[in-house]
Structure 1
């Protein structure tokens, strides 16, 4: 019988991401090597971009089928990073299924290139000199009797910044406290009590977390926020605090998918696409959304003066995603067919459970007050109103790495989890 372990993928998003340019414009001599290094990192992680985006939207489709008419919020980059790290310790068919389930074509890209790409992606997203205020991390909690191979630990530490801890899973309450305290500390209190009802048979828990915070490039003024109606469905209406500002925004109306797209930037390198489908068109959008759609939106955005209403909300998503990943082709790792012998040297290990938790707060400013004052003078003309007062999508990308940081579907902004 296989020994089992849990994977927990967690993410805390607080107002989203802040600050950062890939290559700063100031070039003094001693910066040159660093710029070359950053450029090399960019090339390595850009190889992953199309696959990571495909994985993100495929996963979104599966989750929406499993949870129709519910709020959805998850971090594709968190899930794919965790499984790429797991692939380090996987062998034979188990490894192939993981990498192909992450949508990599192994005739076009080698495992070594994938691992290098993820290493550089983590570094670029979490490196303070890159300016993006985003902390990513990985931790492994192991029972004392399970001795991981030195090579696995060394590689995982070097590539994925893995931290390893010894845990007494025979005492589930103590193990839960150790793991939850660690995660709560690492996510600045944003994610608490991730792990509960632990099986005493657990021998290993793998946790991946992402924490970030930031502020809008153009903050909303709190005094302009007012309570307005949000139409959840034809039968249900709720009251929400609706933020408001009039200004020039990047817009696109996709006639084919019957949706309005508004792009808002955060300070730094993060961008949010807010996608408002016409009434009754959400399902069509969910079923057809692919990376090429977002690319087309990006290319066709135009600036227009509009009156924008957008809800202030907090949502979180918590998922047991074993079943979802199995549908995407990652099967053996959850069964007695699993070959994770690269972790311990023996083939008697499988993943019993994968938990992913993500949270996002959206408010007028983000966590940091905007420095300086900018007054935008607007002509007093009649301009269109765009109001996000029915279910919409929110996609958050990192511009430097072209990574899909989050995908959210907000059906009812008054429900927090």
Structure 2
């Protein structure tokens, strides 16, 4: 009988080596697909907050312990290079980029593996995950459920600046032999804050143009990057954080008559790197021109079981008790029983707390262009140096603050 491997992905906020890094494109493609499949699974009425970086990074760590077809499925979906050392070195570079300090931006991240003292991880697995992924390995005795749950909760609370406390209960680790966590905490102040006195209660519409509620609509008039992407059937703006604009939020608003689902599919075809590069070009080209930005204040919390979504994306065997091969991790038959993500994002006038066909785009500016996000939109937090998404989501309905499955 197989032993259960628990995976926990915790994201309270967000962010995301080199400009031409293969690993950045791999992460972007995974981020877009993850949001696309999750949004489809959640339905047309749900808001979403996701940290694709957190899921992708821990699945990459699990892939280090996988063999055979289990390994192949993970590598195919995560787009891990056949040159394992090349991927590992790029992963380490990407994590270093994430942790570069910027005034006005706080980023803290960690990865931990809690393992039953009876079933020690293989030394080769521990060495690789520590050297390249900076993973903490923490021995626990899962027979003592109270002590084990307290240890994990303490680790998570510290890693998230006490934003997530008492995250798991004793029942969550009842049958565990291994428990994995990945945490990100991000707080970013807008480079150009929204004017609080200009925030007004305004109607919000669905994709059919029907009013479905009210939002506190923020307003900013300033020189920000703005694009109308005909190939994407959407408008996009770039809203930077802190000094130096290393981190930014990209907001993508489908044109009237287009849907979130349609734009997400086009985003997959175009690739996120192209969108980011076009926005950077627009930022330089129209540096002295103002754009009128209307964006709702919003809070979204998602608590999701990702098994079904990842299975539809092609990761199947690792969740199958009869087929999973993780013998490069430990000399014990393991499978991942649940892959859970909790992600939260708060956006207001001051900033964000968040706990993701080439060349076919045409960009232009109009006289005093207007970007009015008064209908469903897609948002992403990106590292502008890496051109990489680490947090993304969809805002559809002001009456829903959370989503769980």
Structure-2 residue corresponding to 1:317: 302
Q: 1:200: which partner in 2?
A: 174
Secondary structure of 2:194's partner?
Answer: coil
Partner of 1:259: 234
Q: Give the secondary structure class of the aligned counterpart of 1:198.
A: helix
* SS of 2:350 mapped into structure 1: coil
Determine whether 1:60 maps to 2:29: no
Select 1:141's aligned residue among 108, 114, 121: 114
1:194–1:357: 8 Å Cα contact kept in structure 2?
Answer: no
**Partners of 1:393 and 1:410 within 8 A in 2:** yes
Q: CA deviation at 1:151?
A: 2.3
Contact 2:194 2:350 in 1 (8 A): yes
The answer as to 2:338 corresponding to 1:353 is yes
Cα pair distance change 1:121/1:230, threshold 3 Å: same
Query: What 5-or-longer segments of structure 2 have no aligned partner?
Result: 354-366
CA distance in 2, matches of 1:413, 1:122: 34
Residues 3 and 349 of structure 1 are in contact (CA less than 8 Å); yes or no, is this contact kept in structure 2? yes
Deviation at 1:287, TM superposition (A): 2.7
- Residue-by-residue CA offset, 1:192-224 (whole Å, 9 max, x unaligned): 444344152111111111111111111112222
- Aligned position for 2:396: 411
Aligned counterpart, 2:5: 5
Alignment map for 1:317-396 (pairs within 5 Å) = 317-335=302-320, 336-344=322-330, 346-366=331-351, 383-396=368-381
Displacement of 1:362:
1.0
Q: CA-to-partner distance for each residue in 1:78-126, whole Å, 9 max, x for gaps? A: 111111111222222222221112124x5xx412211221122112212
1:272 aligned onto 2:272: no
Structure 1, residues 26-78: CA drift from partner, whole Å, max 9, x if none?
xxxxxxxxxxxxxxx638x8121222211111212211211122111111111
Q: 2 CA distance for matches of 1:148 and 1:296?
A: 41
Question: Is residue 89 from structure 1 mapped to residue 65 from structure 2 by the alignment?
Answer: yes
Q: Once the 2 structures are TM-superposed, how far is the Cα of residue 353 of structure 1 from its aligned partner?
A: 1.0
Q: Distance in 2 between matches of 1:291 and 1:121?
A: 24
d(CA) in 2 for partners of 1:180, 1:165? 13
Any idea what the Cα deviations from partners look like across 1:326-357, whole Å, max 9, x if unmatched?
2222222222222211222x241111111112
**Do the aligned partners of 1:215 and 1:365 also contact (CA within 8 Å) in 2?**
yes
CA RMSD of aligned residues (A): 2.6
Match of 2:258 in 1: 281
Structure 1 unaligned regions, length at least 5: 18-40, 369-381
Displacement after TM superposition at 1:246 (Å): 1.6
1:48 matched residue in structure 2: 23
Q: Could you say which structure has the larger radius of gyration?
A: 1
Structure 2 counterpart SS, 1:355: strand
What does residue 30 of structure 1 align with?
none
Question: Alpha-carbon deviations, 1:345-393, whole Å to 9, x = none?
Answer: x24111111111211111112279xxxxxxxxxxxxx844332111111
Question: Map of 1:177-196 to 2, 5 A cutoff?
Answer: 177-196=150-169
Q: Quote the residue 1:113 is aligned against.
A: 86
CA contact (8 A) 1:269 1:398 kept: yes
Distance in 2 (alpha carbons) for counterparts of 1:181 and 1:389:
40
Taking the aligned partners of 2:179 and 2:103, their CA distance within structure 1 comes to 30
Displacement of 1:128: 4.1
Cα distance in 2, alignment partners of residues 367 and 49 from structure 1 = 23
SS of equivalent residue, structure 2 residue 192 = coil
- Contact 2:290 2:368 (8 Å CA) reproduced: yes
- SS of the equivalent of 1:48 reads helix
CA distance in 2, matches of 1:357, 1:58: 18
Show the counterpart of 2:270. 292
Which residue is equivalent to 1:99? 75
2:126 to 136, 150, 153: 153
Q: Is the 8 A contact 1:262 1:273 kept in 2?
A: yes
The size of the alignment, in residue pairs, is 375
